[in-house]
Amino acid sequence: MITKEFIGTLFPFIGTGAESLDRIISSLRYTEEEFKRGELVFCGDSSPAVGFIVEGECEVRQTKHDGSPVSLNRLIKGQSFGILSVFGKTDFPTEIYAKRNSTVMFISAEDFIFLIHAYPEVSYRVISFLAGKVSFLNRKIRTMSGTRVEDRLRSFLLSEYERHGEEIPFNCKKTAETINSGRSSVYRALDSLSSLGLISFDNKSVKILDYEGLSAL
């Protein structure tokens, strides 16, 4: 069940006062859909909409040139997808699948744009959210454009630090794909950063020991 409290945690409405939130909810139109594990939730052929995870967990995937899927991210309760479908003129670039049984709240593009026009506070929060996305993509570009594997890995770890703190979950295969490198090169880069006392690592996590040193490298 979608509650007022839950809606108040979503990025277009977070921080909105109780009275304003009641006013917004009174005109908020949405649908609620359930998906079984492995089901396709959203893709380029879907009608433009913004989706919010109500319960469960979803996975963001992209298909490589050889047809194999790549997992890009996971989405948990309160997180969103699809905003690019509302404002973009091209197909949504990724696919969303239910990683386990999930409930999703959808706001259609038409209704989402109505909220932006009708409520300045919603408009501000949407702009702030998109600005954060741009900043995140810029960090990703820096990660991919480094001339050395160590540089790309360092940029990747710094961006992950903002999400996880000093203890960063680590998967060598996914990390290698993200920074466009081989797994053996990733391990050599980890050894190099570890020898400088900047990080420690094992097969499941990387711990940032010296954030300032890593940033200044």
- pLDDT one-digit tens code per residue, 199-208: 899 888 999 8
For the chain, list the domains and their CATH numbers: 4-134 (2.60.120.10), 146-216 (1.10.10.10)
Structure confidence by residue, pLDDT tens digits, 107-141: 999 999 999 999 999 999 999 888 877 766 665 55
Total-model pTM: 0.67
Residue 64 predicted with pLDDT over 80: no
pLDDT for the residue 141:
57
**Contact 31/105 with Cβ under 8 angstroms?**
yes
Residue 40 predicted with pLDDT over 80: yes
* Residues forming beta bridges with residue 52, ordered by sequence position: 80, 105
How many Cβ atoms from other residues are within 10 Å of residue 91's Cβ? Answer: 12
Q: What is the dihedral of CA 151, 152, 157, 162, to 10 degrees?
A: 100
